[in-house]
Chains A and B, each alone.
Chain A
Amino acid sequence: MYSEKLLSVLVAVPGVVVLMLSLSWLFGLALAERTISRVTKAVYALLIVTAVLLVLSLWRGHVDSVTMFAGHWFTVGDYGFDVVLLADRLSVPFALLTVVLAGIVGAFSVRYLHRDPGFFRFFLLLHLFTLGSLLVFLAGSLDLLVAGWELVGITSVLLVGFFQYRRDPVKNALRVFTTYRVADLCILIAIFVAHHSFGAASWAAMFSGTWPEAENLMHGPAATVLAVLLVLAASGKSSQGPFYGWLPRAMEGPTPSSAVFYGAISVHAGAYLLLRAEPLIRSSMVATVVLVTIGLGTAFLGTLVHRTCADAKTSVAYASQTQLGLIFAEIGFGWTTMALVHITGHAVLRTLQFLRTPSMLRDYHRLHAASGGNLDPTGSHYESILPARVQHWLYRFALGRGFYDSVVDRFVAAPVLRVAKLLGVFEPAAAAVPELKAEDEKRASVTVEII
C-alpha cells in the first residue's frame, strides 16, 4: 500500500506542477524566476526522495513489482482500458535516473537561463517532460505509455525550437517532429495490433512473471509484427536505424535541454521500451535480427560520423548515438542487465559532457598545456590502415552524415509529395496551393542539409 502511494506521488507531483504552471500562464500570471526556481528545486527534491523511498520499500519488502490500479479509462462492454502504474526492477531504475538527472539539469538551468525571455516556458516544458518520462517508465500498459511517449516527443520538439524567433531552430524542430510522427505511427499501430490480436496491451497481460524473468505470452505472425513495430518505434525515439538523422538537428535548443533529452533521458526511452518488450522480441527471430542490425548499423555509422564532427555539441550527439546503437544490440542479444547498466552509465556521462560543451575551449586548452603541447594525434586507427581511396570516401561519407538527409528527401519525401499531388485531384482547393505546383523533388528538399 505504502509503495503504491509512493508510486502515485511520483506521477502526480509533476502532473500537478505542470497543471499549476500552465494555469498560471493561461491566466497571465507572471511568475517570478525566483518562484519558478524554488518550485523546481522543491519538486525534484520531493521526486528524488520519493523514488529513493520506493526503491527502499521494494527492496525491504522483497517485492519484485508493485502495481497500482488507478481506475478504468473507459470500458466497452466487458472490454476495458485500465490505467495502471507499474514499478518493477526495470521501471524503478529508469524513474530514479529521470528524477535525478532532470533535477540536476533543472538546477543547472536556473542559472543558465536566468533572464532569458523563455525562462518560464523552459521550466514548464521541463516539468512536462518529467511527467511524460515518468509516465513512460511507470506505465503498466502500452496505452498509458503512449501518453507519456507523446509528451516527451512534443516537449522535445518545442525545446529544439526554443529560440522560436529564428528560422533554423524552428525548421529543425519541424523536421524532428515529422520524424517523431512517423515513428509514433509504429507504436500506435502496435497498440492496435496488441489489442486486436491479443486482447490487451498491458504488460501484465502481455508477459507473465516480472522483469527480467518475464515470459512472453504472445506468439504467431501478429507477435512478430508487433515486435518489429515496437523496434521501429523505439528507433524513432532513440535516433536509430531508419530514423537516425534527427539527433544533430536537435542541438538547436539550449544546452541543458540537449543534455536532458539527447544525453540523458529521452533518447533512452526507446531502449526502455525495448527492454520492456524484450521477451517478445526474443521470441521473434525477425524482430531480433532487425533490432541487432539497426543497433550495430547505427553504432558503426554513428562512430564514423562522430569522427568528422568539428563542433562540440554534434560531436557528443553522434557519440551518444553510437552507444545507443550498442545498447540496442545488447538488448537484441538478450543481455538486458548489461543494457540497463550501460544505459545508466551512459546517461550520466553524457549529461555531464553536454553540460560541459560551453566550457570546451577552456578544457581543451588546459589539456593541451598539461600535455606540454603534445596531445596524442587522433584519427590514426582504422582510418590509416585502409587504402587512401577508401579512407577518403569514408571521410566524405561521414562528412555527409551517411547521405541520410538526401536519401530521405529524394526517396521518401519527394515521392510522398508526388502522391499528395495526385490525391489533389479529389480536392482541387488543396491542389491549388502554390506549394504543390512547384517541382516536387526540389520542393521536398527545402530543408536539405546534407552535402
Chain B
Amino acid sequence: MVDSGNKDNDACRDVESHSLCGVNPDPLAGVPPGGYAIPHGEGMALGGGRGLYCGALKTDHTSHSAASPREALRHAVDHAAHYLPAQGPIGVFIHHNTLHAFQHMKFEEAVLKAAREFGAEPYMKEEAYQKDRARGRIADEDVRVVVRAEPDAVIIPGRLTRHELRTAMLTPGVREAEARTLAWHLEEGGWLTSFRNDLSAVVKAGLAGDNPRALWEACVGRIPAAVPCEAGRVRRPAEAVMISKGLNMDDYVHPPLIRLTGAYVDQGIAYWPMPMRELGLLRAARRIMGQGMSLFPANLEGIGEVFRAHEAEGLDAEDVALRMLGELGVPQEEWEDYVVAELLPLAGWAGLIRKLEEDPSLAPHDRVRCSLLEFLALRLCYTVTALRNLAGESRSWREVRRRPGVEAEMEAAAMFDAAQLIGMGSAELLALPAVSFEAFRREVAAFGSLERRRLLHAAYERRHERQILVPLARHRRMPRLVPESTRLAAQVMFCIDEREESIRRALEEVDPEIETLGAAGFFGCAIDYAGIDDAGGVALCPVVVKPGHEVREVPVGEHAGMQEKRQALRRIWAKVAQNSYVSSRSLVRGWVSTACLGFLSIFPLTLRVLRPSVYARFMERMNRLFLPEPRTELAFMSDDEASRQATSGLLSGFCTPEKVERVAGVLGSAGLHAGMARVVAVLGHGSTTLNNPHESAYNCGACGGRSGAPNARLFAAMANRPAVREGLRAKGITVPEDTWFVGGYHDTCSDGIQWFDLDLVPASHQGDLARLQASLDKARALSAHERTRRFEAASPDFGPEEALVHVRERSEHLGEPRPEYGHGTNAVCIVGRREQTRGLFFDRRAFLVSYDATLDPKDEALARVLGAVIPVCGGISLEYYFSFVDNEVYGCGTKLPHNVTGLVGVMNGYQGDLRTGLPLQTVEIHEPVRILFVVETTPERLMKVVKANPELTEFVENHWIRVATMDPANGAIQVLRADGTFEPLTGDDEPLPQAATSRDYYRGRMEHLPVARIGAA
C-alpha cells in the first residue's frame, strides 16, 4: 500500500509543481533560454481544467499495434470515450458515479488515477480536513485508528516508527508550502525565526536549545540535489506550443469547434437550424466552413482548403482521422493516449456527442446523428491547421520536452517540518546514520499531501460512521417510542429519497398512529407515460430500465370535450408565446414587439422579481379561469388483445398478473404482508424550480429524473383493484378488505402535496383520509420549517406556515440559484424496518428503505431492493462527492455565469466547454463522505446477495460505498472493513441526544446535526 502510494505520490507531485521547461535544441523556434515558466493554473488551462500532465498515460488495455489502422482507430476512440463524462442532455440529469469508468478499481486507487488523468483533486484540501479536525468533526482518536490500521515499520530504530511519524504529521498536521511560496516562508514568513508554535511539550523538549535555521540547513545539507528525472513527453500539440511559444493553441481551435458542435446538436434555440445536418457533423462542417469568400483567423489560414480537399476526395471521418494522425506523426501504438489527450480538453462536448451517438433518443427534440469519431476528425483538422500556421509544419511538436522542476528544496521543506513534528533537532538529524536518514527521508517523502489526505479522509469518514452507527445501536437498545398499537390509522409510502426523511419524521411526530415507509419512487412501475398536457411519452423508471408498458392519462368519458378545448387553448397559447418569443428577437417583427409592446413586460418583470408568489398565484388564477380542467384517469388496463397491438411497440397498460407482480414487489419488499391501515397513501415526488437548468437532478432519480407522481397514482389504482388483491393473496400478501390506496405527489421544493383520484375514495374512508390529509398538511409545514434552517434568506423566527410560504417562493423565484439543496448532505442509507429508525433525527441525510428481513427468508426481496438502491444511492452519493471535492473539474462550477446552450447543457459565458456534474450552489453544504449503507440483515446474507450481482459487487468490494449490517434479531452492528471482513461495532463514544420535537432540537442551528432521538422527553 505504502509503496504504491509512494509512486502515485511522486507522479502527482510533478503535477502539483508545474515547473515545465522546454529543452533545447527546441524544434519550434522562439524559446527563450530556460523556456517559458508556466504559471500555476495556466498549465491547467491547456486542458480546459482537465489539464494533461507529464508521464505517459497508463492504459488499461494492451496496445493494438498489430491491428489494422482502422480497427486501431476505432478502438482508440472507444477507449477514449470511457474518460469522457457520461452526461447526456441536461433535461434528463441522471446521477451516477462521476468516475464510473474507474469503478472496477478500488476507490482509493481510482480517485488517484482519475486525479492524474483529469488534473482533479481526489479528496478535499488538506486545509479543509485540518479545519474539520479543529472543530471536532475529526477526532484525534480517528486519526490514530486509521494510521494504526495500516502496517507499521521501524524508521529509526529506537526512535521513530511509521505510525509515530504519520500521527505527528497528521496531528497537528504539516505546514504546506508550494514551490512558489517557499522562498517567502523562509525569508519573510518566519519559518526560520522560530519553530512551530503548535508543538506538544514533549516534542518541544526535543528541540530545546536548537534553532530553526540550523535545522533547515541540516535538512538542506543532507538532502542531495535532485537527480534530474527523464524529460516528459508532451501529449498533444497544444502543450508543445504552450511550452515553446507561450501561446494557447486551444484559443484558436476551440471557438470554431464549439460553435459548430453547438449549432449541430442544437435542439431549438437557434432560429435557423444548421443546414446539411443530415450529412453528419464532419461533412456538414466541412461544407459550411469550406466555402469560398471566407476570412479565417491568421492561425487557421488554410483550413478552408483542407476542408475542400477532403470533401473533393470524399473522405469519411475515419479517413480524415487517419490522415491527420499521420500528419501529426503519431505512431499507431500511441493513438489511444493521443486520442484521450486530444478529446479531454473539450470533454463536455465530446461526452455529449458520445452519449447521443450511443442513444439518439436522448435528444429532447431533434434527433441528430452524432459520432465521436467525426468530432475527433474535425478537431484534428483544426489542430493540424493551427499547428502548421504556428510551427510551419505538423510533426516536430513531438520532440518538445517538458522537464520536471527541481524538487530538492521542496523535499527539504517537508523534512524540516517533519523533524519539528517529531522533535528532532539539527544535531540529531546530522548525527543520523546514513541508513536511518535515508529511511526517514523516504518515509517523509512517501507521506505526501495525497497520502495524508487519504488518511485524513478515512478519519473523516470514520467519525461519520461512528456518529451514525453508535446512536443507531443506542436507539435500538432503548424502548420503542410508539407501542405496537392494534391498527395504524394510516400508512404513507414515500420515496426512499433522503429529502423525504424530514416530512416522514414530522408526520409521525404529528400523528404517532401513522407509519411511514420508503420504497424506490417509481413504485415498481416502469412505465412510458404521457399526461394530458404532455406532447409525448417519457420513461418513468430508473434509467437502466427500458419501460415495456405505456400508460396514458386520459380524460374521463364525459370530459373528453373539455380536454379538446383545453388542448386547443394551449395550442393557441403556444403559438402566441412562440411567436412573441421569436418575433421579439428578429428584425422587423422585433421592431413591433419591442417598440410597441415591449413596455408591457414591465409588469411581469416587476412582479416576477419583486413578488414571485403574487405572480405565480396570478398565473394560477388565469389558468383556472381560462383552461378547463377535465377529470382524468389513467389508461393502464390491458385485458384485451387490441391494446396489445400498440403502435409504439410498447404494451399498452398492464394485464392483471403484471399488476399483481408490481404491487407485490413493492409491498412484499417493504414488509407489508398483512395488517395494513385503512388508508395507505403512496406519494411520488418531484421538484418544481425556476432558474435551474439542472432541474431534472432535483427530481426523482428512480423515475429517470422526472416527477414520480404518475407512478404513485398508478400504483394506488392498481392496488385497489379487486382482481389484483386476489392475486396478491395468492402471493401471500393479504390486503385487508377495508384498505384503500390513494396516490399523491410531494414537491420537495415547494413542499406542496397534491392528491389523485380522490373522487374514487369510498365514502367510508373519507374520514380516515381527512385525518391523514390534516396531519400531512401540518407535517409538510414542519418539514418546510426544518429545511429553512439551512437558508440564510429565511428568518430563524419563521413559524411553520411562514416557512411554507418561503419555500414555495423559492420554487417560483426567477433569480433563486438554490431553490432547494437537492441531495446535498446525503450520507446514509438505511435498509430495514422503520422501527429501527423511527423517532431518529437524521437531518434529511438518510435514505430510508423499508425492508423486513424476518419476512424474507430467501433474501429475494433483499436482492431486489439492493439491486435498485445501491446503484441509485451510491451514484447520487458519489456524484455529490466528486462535484464537491473538485467542483471545477468534476462539477460544473458556480451557476452564475451558466448559459443554456442548445437545450442540451450549460457552458460558462458565451463559448466554452459544456459543464457537467453538479453546480457549486447544489453541493456547497455537502459533506463529502461515501454513503454508508446500514442493512438490517446478517453479513452472510448481505454478501450472498451482493456477490450474486456484479454491479453490487463492484460497489461493495471496491469500497465505493461503505457498508454495515444490523442483525435483525439482536441489533448487533457489524461494519465492512477494507480487508473485506466484518468488524463488530464497539465503543460508546457518540451520544444520542434527546428532544421533545425536531424543532426543539434544530432550533437556531444551521450546521449539520448529529443523530438525535425525538419524542422521548
Other-chain contact of B91, A162, A309, A365, A400 (Cβ < 8 Å): A365
If A169-B897, A323-B594, A398-B272 touch, whether A355 touches B605 (CB-CB below 8 Å) is yes
Other-chain contact of B270, A309, A375, A396 (Cβ < 8 Å): A309
Task: Decide: B793 and A114 in contact? CB cutoff 8 A.
Answer: yes
Over the window 261-282 of chain B, the binary record of Cβ atoms lying under 8 Å from chain A Cβ atoms (1 yes, 0 no) is 0110010111111111000000
| Across-interface contacts of A406 in B (CB, < 8 A) | 295-298
Task: Decide: B575 and A359 in contact? CB cutoff 8 A.
Answer: no
If A448-B299, A450-B297 touch, whether A346 touches B691 (CB-CB below 8 Å) is no
| Across-interface contacts of B533 in A (CB, < 8 A) | 369-370
Once the chains are docked, how many angstroms separate the CA of A367 from the CA of B534? 10
If A251-B910, A448-B299 touch, whether A379 touches B900 (CB-CB below 8 Å) is no
If A112-B817, A346-B598 touch, whether A163 touches B897 (CB-CB below 8 Å) is yes
- Determine whether A326 belongs to the interface, using a CB cutoff of 8 Å to chain B: yes
Task: Decide: A311 and B275 in contact? CB cutoff 8 A.
Answer: no
Task: Decide: B910 and A314 in contact? CB cutoff 8 A.
Answer: yes
Over the window 224-260 of chain A, the binary record of Cβ atoms lying under 8 Å from chain B Cβ atoms (1 yes, 0 no) is 0000000000000000000000001101111110000
Q: How far is the CB of B287 from chain A (nearest CB, A)?
A: 7
Once the chains are docked, how many angstroms separate the CA of A437 from the CA of B247? 13
Task: Decide: B896 and A254 in contact? CB cutoff 8 A.
Answer: yes
Q: How far is the CB of A30 from chain B (nearest CB, A)?
A: 15
Q: How far is the CB of B586 from chain A (nearest CB, A)?
A: 6
If A322-B585, A357-B900 touch, whether A310 touches B266 (CB-CB below 8 Å) is yes
Q: How far is the CB of A292 from chain B (nearest CB, A)?
A: 15
Once the chains are docked, how many angstroms separate the CA of A346 from the CA of B578? 18
Task: Decide: A359 and B272 in contact? CB cutoff 8 A.
Answer: no
Task: Decide: B817 and A322 in contact? CB cutoff 8 A.
Answer: no
| Across-interface contacts of A444 in B (CB, < 8 A) | 298
- Determine whether A316 belongs to the interface, using a CB cutoff of 8 Å to chain B: yes
Q: How far is the CB of A148 from chain B (nearest CB, A)?
A: 24
Closest to A320 in B: B585
Task: Decide: B590 and A451 in contact? CB cutoff 8 A.
Answer: no
- Determine whether B453 belongs to the interface, using a CB cutoff of 8 Å to chain A: no
Closest to A253 in B: B897
- Determine whether B909 belongs to the interface, using a CB cutoff of 8 Å to chain A: yes
> What is the number of contacts between chain A and chain B, taking CB atoms within 8 Å?
330
Interface hits, B47-95 → A, CB 8 Å: 90-91
- Determine whether A342 belongs to the interface, using a CB cutoff of 8 Å to chain B: yes
Task: Decide: B271 and A109 in contact? CB cutoff 8 A.
Answer: no
- Determine whether B798 belongs to the interface, using a CB cutoff of 8 Å to chain A: no
Q: How far is the CB of A210 from chain B (nearest CB, A)?
A: 24
Interface hits, B526-577 → A, CB 8 Å: 533-536, 567, 570-571, 573-575, 577
The size of the chain A interface, using a CB distance under 8 A, is: 116
Task: Decide: B263 and A172 in contact? CB cutoff 8 A.
Answer: no
- Determine whether A361 belongs to the interface, using a CB cutoff of 8 Å to chain B: yes
If A372-B535, A373-B535, A395-B288 touch, whether A310 touches B695 (CB-CB below 8 Å) is no
Closest to A449 in B: B255
Closest to A378 in B: B271
Other-chain contact of A310, B792, B898, B902 (Cβ < 8 Å): B902
Once the chains are docked, how many angstroms separate the CA of A266 from the CA of B241? 39
If A104-B606, A310-B269 touch, whether A112 touches B896 (CB-CB below 8 Å) is yes
| Across-interface contacts of A252 in B (CB, < 8 A) | 897, 908-910
| Across-interface contacts of B605 in A (CB, < 8 A) | 104, 348, 351-352, 355
- Determine whether A8 belongs to the interface, using a CB cutoff of 8 Å to chain B: no
Other-chain contact of B255, A348, A369, A450 (Cβ < 8 Å): A450
| Across-interface contacts of B299 in A (CB, < 8 A) | 442, 445, 448
Task: Decide: A172 and B298 in contact? CB cutoff 8 A.
Answer: no
- The segment from A70-78, A80-88, A298-306, A420-428 found at the interface with B is A298-306
Q: How far is the CB of A381 from chain B (nearest CB, A)?
A: 9
Closest to A252 in B: B909
Task: Decide: B364 and A310 in contact? CB cutoff 8 A.
Answer: no
Once the chains are docked, how many angstroms separate the CA of A318 from the CA of B322? 39
If A104-B609, A111-B815, A371-B535 touch, whether A315 touches B270 (CB-CB below 8 Å) is yes
Q: How far is the CB of A374 from chain B (nearest CB, A)?
A: 8
- Determine whether B149 belongs to the interface, using a CB cutoff of 8 Å to chain A: no
Task: Decide: A355 and B585 in contact? CB cutoff 8 A.
Answer: no
Other-chain contact of B691, A308, A326, A350, A359 (Cβ < 8 Å): A359
- Determine whether B903 belongs to the interface, using a CB cutoff of 8 Å to chain A: yes
If A108-B814, A322-B587, A442-B298 touch, whether A344 touches B599 (CB-CB below 8 Å) is yes
Task: Decide: A399 and B288 in contact? CB cutoff 8 A.
Answer: yes
Once the chains are docked, how many angstroms separate the CA of A109 from the CA of B567? 37
- Determine whether A307 belongs to the interface, using a CB cutoff of 8 Å to chain B: yes
Task: Decide: B793 and A370 in contact? CB cutoff 8 A.
Answer: no
- Determine whether B236 belongs to the interface, using a CB cutoff of 8 Å to chain A: no
- The segment from A150-158, A199-207, A280-288, A407-415 found at the interface with B is A407-415
If A114-B793, A399-B259 touch, whether A357 touches B578 (CB-CB below 8 Å) is no
| Across-interface contacts of A60 in B (CB, < 8 A) | none
- Determine whether B201 belongs to the interface, using a CB cutoff of 8 Å to chain A: no
If A172-B909, A352-B601 touch, whether A372 touches B567 (CB-CB below 8 Å) is yes
Q: How far is the CB of A41 from chain B (nearest CB, A)?
A: 10
Task: Decide: A358 and B692 in contact? CB cutoff 8 A.
Answer: yes
Q: How far is the CB of A43 from chain B (nearest CB, A)?
A: 15
- Determine whether B252 belongs to the interface, using a CB cutoff of 8 Å to chain A: yes
| Across-interface contacts of B269 in A (CB, < 8 A) | 309-312, 315, 360, 364
- Determine whether B939 belongs to the interface, using a CB cutoff of 8 Å to chain A: no
Task: Decide: B598 and A371 in contact? CB cutoff 8 A.
Answer: no
Task: Decide: B251 and A448 in contact? CB cutoff 8 A.
Answer: yes
Once the chains are docked, how many angstroms separate the CA of A372 from the CA of B817? 30
Known: A169-B908, A251-B899, A251-B909. 7 other contacts (CB 8 A): A311-B262, A315-B269, A358-B691, A358-B900, A399-B260, A438-B30, A449-B251
Closest 8 CB pairs of A and B: A345-B598, A373-B535, A319-B585, A371-B574, A379-B272, A311-B901, A448-B297, A252-B909
Which chain B residues have a beta carbon within 8 Å of chain A's beta carbons? 30, 32, 45, 90-91, 245-248, 251-252, 255-256, 259-260, 262-263, 266, 268-276, 287-289, 291, 293-300, 364-365, 389-390, 533-536, 567, 570-571, 573-575, 577-579, 581-582, 584-587, 590-591, 593-599, 601-602, 604-606, 608-610, 690-693, 695, 792-793, 813-818, 894-903, 907-912, 921, 924
A-B contact pairs, 5 of them (CB 8 A): A169-B908, A308-B271, A355-B608, A395-B275, A451-B256
